[in-house]
C-alpha cells in the first residue's frame, strides 16, 4: 500500500506513553503505526527528536462572523486554531441570530463548510418555547422534545445555557440561550436529558450580578481592577450550586464552562464525589495569571468570569492534579483593539480574549518552568478528555489506527516567541496576555484530516480540510 503521508521516527503519544515510531496516513485516517523504515508514501516528514501529538480539541470557541467580520472570520479564526495546534473547535451558539432553532443550526453548519482550516462542532441553544407564551406544560413539553431531538439528529455537539441575561444591545445573539427562571431551567434540563447530550453551563447568578452592579459606586466602575468587585466569586459559586442542586433529580450531563474560582470548584467536587454526571473546564488565563493583570492591561483582559486572586489560581491547579477539572479550553472570543479601548467604564467593556492561538503555547511553559504540568497531562486535558466528554473519541483526541489523522508536530528543543508572526486572529491586537511571551517549544506542523494546514509558522492557504464533527452514535 502506498500511503498519502508518513511522519517518520517521531516520539508518538500512544496509550499514555511516548514511543519512537512512525505514523502512516491514508484517506484522512491514521492507517498504520509502525517501527520500521520499509514503506511507500507520497510524502515523508522526518520528525526525529520531535513529538507527534493528537491535535487539540477546543471545547469552548466563539467566532463572530458574519455579523462582526472585523473581529474575525471563519477563515482567520480557524487559521489561529491551526497555528496553535488545535484541530477541532466547538463553536458556542452566540451568533447573530443565536443558534437556537434547527433552521439556524443548518444555516450555521453550511456557513462553515469549505471555509474552515480545522474541524468544527456546533453547540445549540435550547431556546424552549415555554417562556414565550402561555401554553400548557404538556403542549410545550411535546413541542420542545421534538425541537431538541431535531438538534440531536442534525449533529449538535451539545447544548449551551447562560444563567444570566444578554448584555445590553446583544439580545439577538443570546435569544434562546439565556435561561434565568429556575422553572424554565428545570424544564429544559429534563428535555435535554432525553437527548443524552452534554449541556455546557455559563454559571453566573443574575440577581447577584445586578446587586453588585448597582451597589458599587460609579467612579469605581471606571477602574479596570473593579471588574472583580462587579463579578465576585459568589456569582459563580452560587450559580453552580443552584444548577447542580436543580439537576439532582434529573442528572442531565452537565459541563461547567470556564471555571475561575476555588469556591465553585469545591461545590463541583461535592457533586462529583456523590456520583453526579458533572464535568468542568478551566482556561489558561485562570491558571497563568491573577487579578493584578487587570490593573496592568486594563480593558484588554476583561473576561467573564474575571481572572481571580492567587488562591483561586492555586486551587484550579490542584483541581487539575486531582482530576476534578478534566478539560482546558480557550474560550476564544475576540474583540478588536478599538472596541476594547474606547470604553472608559469597565462594566461596559466587551468581555473576551482571543485565546485559541495560545491555548497549547500558554501551557508549554508550565512544563519546564513551574513544573505544574506534564506534556502527557496537557494532551489529556486539551485533546483526549474533551473528545471523550463530547463523544467524538476515538475519532478525535488520540493517535490510533482508524482515528482521524488530526496531529501536531511539536519541537520541545526549540525556543520560540509568541508574537504577531504566529498569530492569525483578526483580534490579535487586543491580545495583551501572551504577546511577546517566550515559549519552551514550537509547533512545527498541524495536520487536519491528513492535510497539512500549518507548517513553519505559515498557513497553507489553499488547504481548508475542516469537516463538521458530531457525536458518535
Q: Where are the alpha helices (DSSP H) in 194-329?
A: 206-215, 227-230, 233-246, 262-273, 284-288, 293-297, 310-321
Position 140 scores a pLDDT of 59
Q: To the nearest 10°, report the CA torsion of 306, 307, 308, 310.
A: 180
For residue 446, the cross-strand partners are 408, 454
How far apart are the C-alpha atoms of 22 and 24, rounded to whole Å? 7
Among 352, 225, 240, 348, residue whose Cα is nearest residue 291: 225
Position 169 scores a pLDDT of 86
Position 272 scores a pLDDT of 98
Among 321, 355, 346, 270, residue whose Cα is nearest residue 80: 355
Cell numbers describing residue 362 = 500558554
Q: Give the SS3 label for residue 22.
A: strand
Position 250 scores a pLDDT of 96
Q: Are 174 and 162 in contact (CB under 8 A)?
A: yes
Helix/strand/coil percentages in the chain, nearest 5: 35, 25, 40
Among 50, 45, 74, residue whose Cα is nearest residue 61: 74
| Contacts of residue 143, Cβ cutoff 8 Å, sequence gap at least 6 | 129, 135
Per-residue pLDDT of the chain (473 residues; tens, 9 = 90+): 899 999 999 999 888 889 999 999 999 999 999 988 888 999 999 999 999 999 999 999 999 899 999 999 999 999 999 999 999 999 999 988 999 999 999 999 999 999 999 999 999 999 865 545 555 555 556 677 888 999 999 999 999 999 999 988 888 899 899 999 898 899 899 999 999 999 999 999 999 999 998 888 877 888 899 999 999 999 999 999 999 999 999 999 999 999 999 999 999 999 999 999 999 999 999 999 999 999 999 999 999 999 999 999 999 999 999 999 999 999 999 999 999 999 888 989 999 999 999 999 999 989 876 668 999 999 999 999 999 999 999 999 999 999 999 999 999 999 888 888 889 999 999 999 998 898 889 999 999 999 999 999 999 989 999 999 999 98
Domain boundaries defined on the chain: 56-393+417-439
Distance set, CA 399 to CA 22, 67, 110 (Å): 11, 37, 29
Q: Are 364 and 439 in contact (CB under 8 A)?
A: yes
Stated pTM of the model: 0.96
Cell numbers describing residue 427 = 483580534
In the block, residue with C-alpha cell 434565568: 180
Position 326 scores a pLDDT of 98
DSSP assignment of 86-102: EEEEEE-S-SSS-S-SH
- DSSP-derived pairing of the beta strands 158-162 and 119-124: parallel
Distance set, CA 356 to CA 79, 170, 313 (Å): 10, 23, 20
CATH class of this structure's domain 56-393+417-439 = alpha beta
Amino acid at each position: 500500500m502506498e500511503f498519502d503521508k508518513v511522519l517518520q521516527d517521531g516520539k508518538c503519544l500512544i496509550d499514555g506513553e511516548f514511543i519512537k515510531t512512525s505514523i502512516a496516513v491514508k484517506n484522512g485516517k491514521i492507517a498504520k503505526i509502525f517501527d520500521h523504515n520499509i514503506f511507500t508514501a507520497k510524502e515523508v516528514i522526518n520528525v526525529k527528536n520531535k513529538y507527534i501529538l493528537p491535535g487539540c480539541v477546543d471545547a469552548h470557541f466563539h467566532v463572530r462572523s458574519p455579523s462582526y467580520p472585523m473581529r474575525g472570520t471563519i477563515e482567520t479564526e480557524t487559521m489561529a486554531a491551526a497555528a496553535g495546534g488545535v484541530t477541532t473547535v466547538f463553536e458556542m451558539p452566540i451568533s447573530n441570530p443565536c443558534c437556537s432553532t434547527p433552521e439556524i443550526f443548518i444555516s450555521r453548519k453550511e456557513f462553515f463548510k469549505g471555509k474552515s482550516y480545522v474541524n468544527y462542532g456546533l453547540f445549540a441553544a435550547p431556546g424552549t418555547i415555554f417562556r414565550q407564551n402561555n401554553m400548557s406544560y404538556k403542549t410545550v413539553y411535546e413541542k420542545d422534545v421534538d425541537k431538541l431531538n431535531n438538534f440531536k439528529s442534525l449533529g449538535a455537539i451539545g447544548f449551551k445555557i447562560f444563567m444570566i441575561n444578554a448584555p445590553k444591545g446583544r439580545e439577538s445573539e443570546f435569544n434562546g440561550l439565556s435561561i434565568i427562571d429556575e422553572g424554565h431551567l428545570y424544564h429544559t434540563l429534563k428535555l435535554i436529558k432525553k437527548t443524552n447530550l452534554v449541556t455546557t453551563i455559563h454559571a453566573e447568578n443574575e440577581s447577584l450580578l445586578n446587586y453588585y452592579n448597582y451597589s458599587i459606586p460609579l467612579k469605581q466602575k471606571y477602574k479596570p481592577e473593579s471588574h472583580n468587585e462587579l463579578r465576585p466569586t459568589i456569582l459563580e459559586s452560587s450559580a453552580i450550586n443552584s444548577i447542580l442542586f436543580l439537576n439532582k433529580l434529573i442528572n442531565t450531563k452537565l459541563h461547567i464552562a470556564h471555571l475561575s474560582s476555588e469556591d465553585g470548584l469545591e461545590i463541583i467536587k461535592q457533586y462529583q464525589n456523590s456520583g453526579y454526571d458533572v464535568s468542568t473546564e478551566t482556561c489558561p488565563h485562570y491558571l497563568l495569571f491573577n487579578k493584578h493583570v487587570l490593573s496592568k492591561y486594563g480593558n484588554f483582559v476583561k473576561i467573564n468570569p474575571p481572572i481571580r486572586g492567587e488562591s483561586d489560581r492555586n486551587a484550579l491547579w490542584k483541581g487539575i492534579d486531582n482530576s476534578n477539572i478534566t478539560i482546558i479550553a480557550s474560550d476564544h472570543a475576540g474583540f478588536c483593539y478599538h472596541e476594547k479601548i474606547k470604553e472608559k467604564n469597565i462594566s461596559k467593556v466587551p468581555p473576551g480574549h482571543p485565546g485559541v492561538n495560545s491555548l497549547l503555547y500558554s501551557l508549554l511553559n508550565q512544563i519546564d518552568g513551574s513544573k505544574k504540568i506534564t506534556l502527557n497531562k496537557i494532551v489529556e486535558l486539551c485533546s483526549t478528555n474533551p473528545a471523550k466528554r463530547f463523544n467524538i473519541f476515538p475519532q478525535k483526541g488520540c493517535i490510533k489506527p482508524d482515528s482521524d489523522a488530526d496531529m501536531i508536530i511539536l519541537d520541545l528543543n526549540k525556543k520560540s516567541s509568541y508574537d504577531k508572526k504566529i498569530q492569525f486572529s483578526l483580534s490579535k491586537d487586543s491580545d495583551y496576555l501572551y504577546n511577546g511571551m517566550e515559549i519552551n517549544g514550537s509547533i512545527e506542523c498541524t495536520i487536519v484530516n491528513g492535510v497539512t494546514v500549518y507548517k513553519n509558522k505559515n498557513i497553507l492557504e489553499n488547504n481548508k480540510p475542516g469537516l463538521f464533527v458530531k457525536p458518535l452514535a
